[in-house]
Structure 1
Amino acid sequence: MSIIFNGLNSLLNFVFNITGDWGIAIVLLTLFIRVILLPLSIKQKINLNKQQSLQEKTEALKIKYKNNKKKLDEEILKLQQENFKTMIGCLSSLLQLPIISSLYYVIIRMPVDAGTYLIPWITSIKLPDKYFILPFIYILVSLMPNLLPYIKFLKLKKQNNINVSNLLVTVVFSLIISIKAPIALGIYFITTSLFSLIEEIGFKLYYNNITINKA
């Protein structure tokens, strides 16, 4: 873990030496890490969708072979083997956690006390935003992925619309972690949330396109 931390810390300082702005350096480093981890993230999304599909197949088999227990057990066993492979694929996403957490600690432990061109109304990225502009932006960006199912061509097959309680949980959680957070972390939160939003939109378009072509 310390190796990853030291590596990311050195990389952040390297990017700062090029840009001359800590805020921009945080954005670029965050984007770089997310791009590196993109294949794992996409694989996780695909495996999660496969799991949902396997659950639907299991229910269909129970109906189809309700009067033939032996055949049902055989078909269920095949699906369980396929599901095990899918779960192993989902576990690969855990490789992201040490990198993402190290990036978080690199940013939160920054020793510098300076402003950034990205947010001209603040004097230090180590202080919270006293105008609460960044927390508000972060809440909006965090809500956007939850609203994607309401867009017809971005809704995955049999995906349910989000309910109001989930939206409220997202708002409260985003507010809690951002309202007192240093500007540096606010920049990280917003950057990674925007990347996740674009990644989610791209994945939905790609996955829906594959589904249409297979139909």
Structure 2
Amino acid sequence: MNIIFNFFNNILGSIFNLTGDWGIAIILLTILVRIILFPFSIKQKSEMYNQQRISQKIQDIKTKYKNNEKKVKEETVKYEQELAKSTLGCLVTFIQLPVLFTLYNVVMKMPVQVGTIILPWVSSIKMHDSYYIIPIIYGLVSICPQLITNLDYFKVLKEVKLSKTNLIITSIFSILITIKAPIALGLYFITTSLFTLFEEIGYRFYIKKFNVLSSNS
């Protein structure tokens, strides 16, 4: 962990030397981390998309042969084997945990109380936001990747209808974990969520284009 701490501490310090602002440095560091994790994230999205596609095929088979259980088993066995091959799961989330803990330590060990030009109402990014603006922003931004899956333009499969309860729970949870957290971590969470949003939009554009090309070929 010390190696990771020193690595990110040095990178954060180098970015600060270029920008002169710790808030901007944290945002750029977060973007850098997500760019490094980008191949893993895309691979994870591809597996999730493949799982949804296979699950949809299995459901279609069950509907088509609903009165023939033997035929259903024959037709679905190969798809069920494919589903069992998925290995990535929440890999990207788990990879980010050491980064999150390291960033927290880096921030808390800063020798001075510093603000940032992008949050003029903040006196120190080591403290929580007493105006609760950061938690509210994160609460709203965190649900955006889920919201676009319910927009017809971005749908790539017959996806499960978005649950309002899940949105509310996600938003409340996001607010709770940032309401007393250092503002620096709030910046990390917000930047990560925005990166995830644009990544999701880009991936769905790619899948839609791929599906169109496949259907025309």
Q: CA RMSD in A?
A: 2.2
The answer for the alignment partner of 2:136 in structure 1 is 136
Q: Does 1:108 align with 2:92?
A: no
Shift of 1:95: 6.1
Residues in 2 aligned to 1:68 and 1:184: alpha-carbon distance in whole angstroms:
56
Residues in 2 aligned to 1:174 and 1:96: alpha-carbon distance in whole angstroms:
15
Q: Which ranges of structure 1 fall in alignment gaps of 5 or more residues?
A: none
Residues in 1 aligned to 2:92 and 2:138: alpha-carbon distance in whole angstroms:
26
The answer for the alignment partner of 2:91 in structure 1 is 94
- SS across alignment from 1:37: helix
TM-score when normalising by structure 1: 0.87
Shift of 1:79: 2.3
Distance 1:206 1:4, change over 3 A: same
Distance 1:5 1:176, change over 3 A: same
TM-score when normalising by structure 2: 0.86
- SS across alignment from 1:128: coil
Residues 17-28 of structure 1 mapped to structure 2, 5 A cutoff: 17-28=17-28
Residue pair 2:44, 2:91 contacting (<8 A) in 1 also: no
- SS across alignment from 1:135: helix
Residue pair 1:37, 1:96 contacting (<8 A) in 2 also: no
Identity %: 43
Higher helix content, 1 or 2 = 1
Residues in 1 aligned to 2:152 and 2:13: alpha-carbon distance in whole angstroms:
43
The answer for the alignment partner of 1:50 in structure 2 is 50
The answer for the alignment partner of 1:31 in structure 2 is 31
Residue pair 1:153, 1:205 contacting (<8 A) in 2 also: no
Give the letter aligned to residue 37 of structure 1: L
Give the letter aligned to residue 108 of structure 1: Y
The answer for the alignment partner of 1:192 in structure 2 is 192
Residues in 1 aligned to 2:82 and 2:198: alpha-carbon distance in whole angstroms:
30
My pick for the range that moved more, 123-132 or 55-64, is 55-64
Q: Which ranges of structure 2 fall in alignment gaps of 5 or more residues?
A: none
Shift of 1:160: 2.8
Shift of 1:48: 0.8
Distance 1:162 1:59, change over 3 A: closer
Give the letter aligned to residue 173 of structure 1: F
Residue pair 1:114, 1:123 contacting (<8 A) in 2 also: yes
Deviations 1:14-52 (A, max 9, x none): 212222211111001100010111111111111111112
- SS across alignment from 1:121: coil
Residue pair 2:132, 2:179 contacting (<8 A) in 1 also: yes
Shift of 1:199: 0.6
Residues in 1 aligned to 2:183 and 2:114: alpha-carbon distance in whole angstroms:
10
